[in-house]
Structure 1
Amino acid sequence: MLLKMHLVSGRAYSGLLGRQGSVATCLRRGNSLIKPPLCRNVSLSSQRCTIMSSWIIDKYGRNDVLRFTKNMTFPILQFPNEVVIKVHAASLNPIDVNMRNGYGKAALNMKRDPLNLKSRGSEFPVTLGRDVSGVIMECGLDVAYFKPGDEVWAAIPPWKQGTLSEFVVASGNEISHKPKSLSHIEAASLPYVGLTAWSAMNQIGRLNQHNCTGKRILIFGASGGVGTFAIQLMKAWGGHVTAVCSSDASALVKKLGADDVIDYKSGDVAEQLKMLPLFDFILDNIGGSTENWSLNFLKKWSGATYVTLITPFLLNVDRLGVADGMLQTGVTVGTKAIKHLCKGIHYRWAFFTPSGPSLDEIAELVDSGKIQPVVEQVFSFFDVPKAFLKLEEGHARGKTVIRVTNK
């Protein structure tokens, strides 16, 4: 019966596994039960931890909606390709602030587990946090490349419960072995921004280690998490990088490898860019009016590409509904792409894409010394609201990291 259910439905099989066969967070070494230090309410009959500490929201709003709880239900494996990770460190990204405020809720609810949504009546409680570095506690039956005790890192998609928690569930294809050269604090600063930059520059922009040498790259918003990663990635692949940031971040971006630095506070950026040769690629982390003039600094009819991370997709779906929002988004991107293609320029949108294999490649760059984490500030697990306030101040110089456990 169990085998039949596994063949028909991973969900049905994994549900039985969660009730009957799961060791969840309690590993067994010989005949001794090993209980994680923060785990409470352990049922000796099932040998499973049942609750954990998390930061959650029960409604959308400002920072006061963040709530610490010691009674969050422990995550179980719903699919055979999932793992449970004990979170050692997490980090915050602008999307966490936006999601706390309700940004993207319509589109994200489309992707969330419909059975859980129906049983709870809404998406709440929601756990924020996308980045994780930690240790695998349990693996599903289909997980082949990882085992309990492995140190891993990952970026959890925004439609899943996040990492501001003692434990989190991730798919096996979302995780990667943590770079050996990094601590958990350092490793937690990289996955989400790294995969976002990788998606924009490699998957969408078609840049790689074989074709970047000598290419001129312009990066707007160069001192933030995505920007600091993108600078290092382009330098690792042999590109020439011009970084746009404020003067107080110039030392940082130069240290990371930027060849030229444009201070947006010292005068009109467009006027400063006129003094430089044209570019092969632009990564825009800023959006707004920047898009109106920045494409003029790309080489025409040479395959030059502009990629922006600021897109209206989630806003359109929130405002117009799923069907109309997707239609409006398609019309917008199609119109812009055709308009700029007629001028000899490729116009593209990019989004974060979870990918364990891409993290494998990033880990190799990290362990070879070509990419370094940029951690601006570390907060304790009990100071998560302070970390959100820090992130909302803007003008990031790298990442804001949460130390979830001291182990």
Structure 2
Amino acid sequence: MLGRMNILCRKSFLHLCRQLAVAGKDRGIHSSCRRSTVMPAWVIDKYGGNDVLRLNQNVLIPIIHYPNEVIIKVHAASVNPIDVNMRNGYGANSLNMSRDPLHVKMSGSEFPLILGRDVSGTVMECGLNVKYFKPGDQVWAAVPPWKQGSFAEFVVASANEVSLKPKSLSHAEAASLPYVALTAWTALVNSCGLSKEKCPGKRVLIIGSSGGVGTAAIQLLKSWGAHVTAVCSGNAFTVMKDLGADDIIDYTVASLQDQLKTKDPFDAILDNVGGTSEELALQYLKPWSGATFVTLVTPFLYNNDRLGIADGMMRTGVTLVSKVMKHYCKGIHYRWGFFAPSGPFLDEIGELVDAGKIRPVIEDVLQFSDVRKAFQKLEAGHARGKTVIQVVDPKK
């Protein structure tokens, strides 16, 4: 039955593509699926360095498997650190468990694997239960890492992961935001307990503020009325000021601890760096006031890769409980932050974008053929914004 449904979905998809191709000039929709049932996509067939990335011109166009899914024609995508980590094999045990929780597939069944989490594009087909989108809608989304990604001509996403693209942004601009904005949002809202109502007057320190998540977090916090102190290197000062940071600390000129001693205590710290950063929590947060330290650098995936799922989760649980208790005894809440896909959150972020309170920070826009170059740029470090992959020529 499922196989028959898949065949029907593919036939209806191709029929829809032919209809859209006819109306393309009037509706601004372009599709190459009239040619065949395959598409170009950047894939990996094993984990490793940049040499494992290859452009495959004959990847099967994805189909709808569940009634709440949509097929999106990708106009633009962007590269995130998680893409580099996944290419290297980081988190493979956990992600494969999400892909195949019953372990019915053979080892290596995730290949060929398409990377890429961010997508901005056009809805091409909707599942039977999709109520809020229709073919032709311009959308953006962050595709979860356990699904096939967006470095391809088409991608499938659940409707609850998708949102209408902000009207004020081009596809290239929109593709730079979803993953980092959602990561910042879930860390600040779900882990820190911050919100538009709670932020006015709060003092927040962001460690590693010049990266994608950091720049998104600064803008979210400022739109909610918080006082933001950004920690970065000196060559990112201009970007930090442009984004609205109230105070900027250059960690390269003097000890971060020494510089923080001159500042008033904080209500929250968002750590994008890891290492010894969490030692700052006990020194520079306001104790017994609900102050929270949230780090996005956790041992969860590393433990599962090294020890296996069962032992890894046990080790991770012990580590988290010990850290939570250690900080709680000093009057500070300790939390881990994780990315979570969410169309409703993207709706709210999109409203802030169209209101001019959040803007994309883009360092470079590359063509689809330059995906390897985009990975190299990210691995080189010290980027001052996202690298975007233009999958569809915006002039067409």
TM-score tier after normalising by the smaller chain length? over 0.9
Query: CA 1:293–1:24 in structure 2 vs 1: closer, same or farther (change >3 Å)?
Result: farther
Letter in 2 for 1:108: L
Deviation at 1:396, TM superposition (A): 2.0
In structure 2, C-alpha distance between the alignment counterparts of 1:303 and 1:175, rounded to whole Å: 33
Match of 2:9 in 1: 18
Tell me the alpha carbon deviations over residues 47-89 of structure 1, each in whole angstroms, 9 at most, x when there is no partner: xxx1000000000000000000110011000001000000000
Matched, 1:383 2:370: yes
Matched, 1:106 2:93: yes
Deviation at 1:394, TM superposition (A): 0.9
Letter in 2 for 1:39: C
Match of 1:373 in 2: 360
Mapped contact 2:72–2:156 kept (Cα < 8 A): yes
Matched, 1:28 2:48: no
In structure 1, C-alpha distance between the alignment counterparts of 2:106 and 2:274, rounded to whole Å: 39
Deviation at 1:125, TM superposition (A): 0.3
Matched, 1:149 2:136: yes
Mapped contact 1:24–1:137 kept (Cα < 8 A): no
Matched, 1:160 2:155: no
Match of 2:175 in 1: 188
Deviation at 1:293, TM superposition (A): 3.1
The total of aligned residue pairs comes to 390
4+ residue runs over 4 A deviation: 11-14, 32-37, 113-117
- Among 70, 73, 76, the alignment partner of 2:57 is 70
Tell me the alpha carbon deviations over residues 294-346 of structure 1, each in whole angstroms, 9 at most, x when there is no partner: 43100000000000000010010001111111111111111100110010000
- Among 267, 270, 275, the alignment partner of 2:254 is 267
Tell me the alpha carbon deviations over residues 355-389 of structure 1, each in whole angstroms, 9 at most, x when there is no partner: 00000000000000111110111110000000000
In structure 2, C-alpha distance between the alignment counterparts of 1:80 and 1:175, rounded to whole Å: 14
Matched, 1:91 2:58: no
Mapped contact 2:17–2:31 kept (Cα < 8 A): no
Match of 2:294 in 1: 307
Mapping 1:7-406, distance limit 5 Å: 14-15=5-6, 17-19=8-10, 21-23=12-14, 26-28=17-19, 32=22, 36-39=30-33, 41-42=35-36, 50-113=37-100, 118=105, 122-406=109-393
Of stretches 359-368 and 104-113 in structure 1, the one that deviates more from structure 2 is 104-113
In structure 2, C-alpha distance between the alignment counterparts of 1:178 and 1:111, rounded to whole Å: 28
Mapped contact 2:292–2:334 kept (Cα < 8 A): yes
In structure 1, C-alpha distance between the alignment counterparts of 2:307 and 2:51, rounded to whole Å: 28
Of stretches 308-317 and 284-293 in structure 1, the one that deviates more from structure 2 is 284-293
In structure 2, C-alpha distance between the alignment counterparts of 1:22 and 1:166, rounded to whole Å: 14
Query: CA 1:330–1:13 in structure 2 vs 1: closer, same or farther (change >3 Å)?
Result: farther
Query: CA 1:207–1:292 in structure 2 vs 1: closer, same or farther (change >3 Å)?
Result: same
TM-score with structure 2 setting the length: 0.94
Mapped contact 2:14–2:33 kept (Cα < 8 A): no
Query: CA 1:383–1:115 in structure 2 vs 1: closer, same or farther (change >3 Å)?
Result: farther
Which secondary structure does the structure 1 equivalent of 2:148 belong to? coil
Tell me the alpha carbon deviations over residues 177-198 of structure 1, each in whole angstroms, 9 at most, x when there is no partner: 0000000010000000000000
Gaps of 5+ in 1: 6-10, 43-49
In structure 1, C-alpha distance between the alignment counterparts of 2:16 and 2:155, rounded to whole Å: 11
TM-score with structure 1 setting the length: 0.92
Deviation at 1:17, TM superposition (A): 3.4
